[in-house]
Structure 1
């Protein structure tokens, strides 16, 4: 039988504030990542159209190289998005476990701690893929600047 008092609910909400703030930050990160993915996709489509156009012989190798780098960036961003989403799901499970454990008077502290640590580790992985994508983007920009390449 569930024996949940108003004071208990208030206490659980206090405990879940930190995970909720983390969830908010992960949501913001997902917005940034999906926006970057959208820009990568848009640029890829432009390059693919240019490469398919008749009579385009100059800069084809450079455009193909940029397109290849865009595919690599999209792959890295996809991994970052996947890991950030996984983090968000794990943090949601933390919040649910906090309420469930207290409402049912079940000891879920080890599960909650494990889910939270797993969420943080997955978030670290997401940031590592994001950072790698930024390095690839910067490398592309530097190469284009050195060679004066732009469509």
Structure 2
């Protein structure tokens, strides 16, 4: 005879794994979005500086900043999309887990596949985010900080 309380407790323990993974993915998505907002603000600021009276050298430097910021925006967009797919796969895996336990059906293949997609997407989003970090670090080393005003550019 099986213990229904033990079965339910095991189901709850198993269901906690995707919850923790989903929580971690949510934190990463928040980080990616915050970083994207900063990049977007810097792009708007650089574009505003370009409308002012700038020297040709400063114009070239600002345009390099804009190109780098555009690449960073693309990488962060990709991180968010792939991370979102990982989060959705985690939710789907938890749903399949419950369906499998309630319906006693064979969902092992679906569960393994969805967890694999969730983990793979999370890893890919982190690798793409690393690309953004490398671009940011490289830009700071080669071009310096984005000037805050036109007056600070010639100095």
TM, length-normalised to structure 2: 0.87
Q: 1:97 aligned to 2:74? A: no
Task: Give the length in aligned residue pairs.
Answer: 144
What does residue range 108-119 of structure 1 map to in structure 2 within 5 Å?
Answer: 108-119=107-118
- Structure 1 runs of 4+ off > 6 angstroms? none
How far apart are 1:7 and its partner, in Å? 4.8
Task: Please say if residues 16 and 95 of structure 1, whose CA atoms lie closer than 8 Å, have aligned partners that are also in contact.
Answer: yes
What does residue range 1-151 of structure 1 map to in structure 2 within 5 Å?
Answer: 7-53=6-52, 55-58=53-56, 59-145=58-144, 150-151=147-148
In structure 1, the gaps of 5 or more residues are: none
CA deviations over 1:78-135 (Å, ceiling 9, x no partner): 0000010000000000100010111111110111011101111111110110001000
**Distance of 1:149 and 1:71 partners within structure 2:** 14
TM, length-normalised to structure 1: 0.89
Task: Please say if residues 144 and 150 of structure 1, whose CA atoms lie closer than 8 Å, have aligned partners that are also in contact.
Answer: no
In structure 2, the gaps of 5 or more residues are: 149-155
